[in-house]
Every structure is written in structure tokens, then in C-alpha cells.
Amino acid sequence: MMQSLYDRLKDRFNLGEFTGRRADLAFVTVSREQLRPLLLHLRDLEGFTHLVLLTAVDWIEDDTFQLTYLLNDRARARDIGVRLMLPRDDTQMDSIHDLWPTAATYQRELREMFGIDFPDSPRVNEDFILEGWVDIPPYRREFDTLRFARETYPERPGRETHDPATYMKQQLYPDGEDNG
């Protein structure tokens, strides 16, 4: 099902890598110029009317952010993920809130958590989940979460960590014997 969809799409669009995950789920990579026409085509002509989510992955090793637009076709019960690679040093992206109003919320989140900007998206510059965040966006992988937590939130001394398997073994069989 997804392969035939891909065959139809690739004549019209300049598509990148195609990954079929399941009979009803596939991913395809697209360039920034082709994103909007492709999404419109999928929405209006192929029946992918629902934007399930818009999220980002930080491939810091490759210096890119990957945006994933996951679309769902209810009638035929299938999903397609449209991937878009964004260079990490130019994190401006075109908003799609006019295609799906819900996208505005995702874009606000991406701006706050990854620092990916979507100019013109409604209320995109307002605080979303964090309040009074002063550091770099926390989902970027160069943000050192552990260090930040240690510096910012004082700890209570005396906290210990055990490996659950060895610890339980010691508790249950203190002389190292399993006599049961």
C-alpha cells in the first residue's frame, strides 16, 4: 500500500529516502521547498487529513535537526511520516499552521524546547511549558541536563543507587546461596 503511494508521489515530487516500516506506516524525506506542496498533496488528494504530531530529533553528530510530520489517513488506516532535515545553525522553518491549526502548538513547543523558530506561527514566542527559562533550549543535546540539575536544584545528601539485581540478591540470599 505504502510502496504504491510512494511510486505515485515520486513522479511529482523530488523525494529523498523512503523507509517502509509496516504495511501501513512509512517515512519519506523531503527538501524544505517541497514540504508544503507535498503536505498539501497528501492532505487534499491522498486522504491524509490528520496531523498526528510534529516533532524534532537532534542529530548533533550530523549537525542537523530532523523534523517529522506524522500524518494519518483515517479512512484507509495508514500513516506517513514526512522527514525534513534542518541544519543546526539555521533553525528557521516555515510554519504550517495554515494547513493544520494544531501545528501552531507543536511549533511553539519546538521553539521552546529545541530553539527551532517558526516565524508567523501564532503565539510562537510565548512561554509554552517552561516559565522563566534562561538557559539554552533544554532538548538540544548540547544542553547538559544532569549538570544543570546538579547546579540548579540542591540535593539531599545520602542518596544511594544500587543495581537492582545485585541488591535484591544480597537482600534475599545474604550468604550468597540460593537454597530455595
- Site for another protein, rule CB under 8 A: 129-136, 138, 143, 145-146, 148-149, 151-156, 158-159
Say if CB 27 and CB 80 are below 8 A apart: yes
- As given in the structure block, the three cell numbers for residue 48 are 491524509
What is the Cα–Cα distance from 139 to 117, expressed in whole angstroms? 14
Q: Specify the residue, 106 or 128, whose C-beta has the smaller distance to another protein.
A: 128
Nearest to another protein of 33, 135 (CB atom) = 135
Q: To the nearest whole angstrom, how small is the minimum distance from the Cβ of residue 166 to another protein?
A: 19
Query: Measured from the CB of residue 128, what is the shortest distance to another protein in angstroms?
Result: 11
Q: Return the closest-CA partner of residue 24 out of 75, 84, 76.
A: 76
CB 109, min distance to another protein, A:
14
Looking at the Cβ atoms of 58 and 79, the one nearer to another protein is 58
Shortest distance, CB of residue 150 to another protein, whole angstroms? 8
Asked if 79 contacts 52 with a C-beta cutoff of 8 angstroms, the reply is yes
CA–CA distance, 63 with 89 (Å, rounded to integer)? 8
CA dist., res. 82 & res. 13, Å (int): 13
Running DSSP on this structure, what letter comes out for residue 58? E
By C-beta, is 118 or 128 nearer to another protein?
128
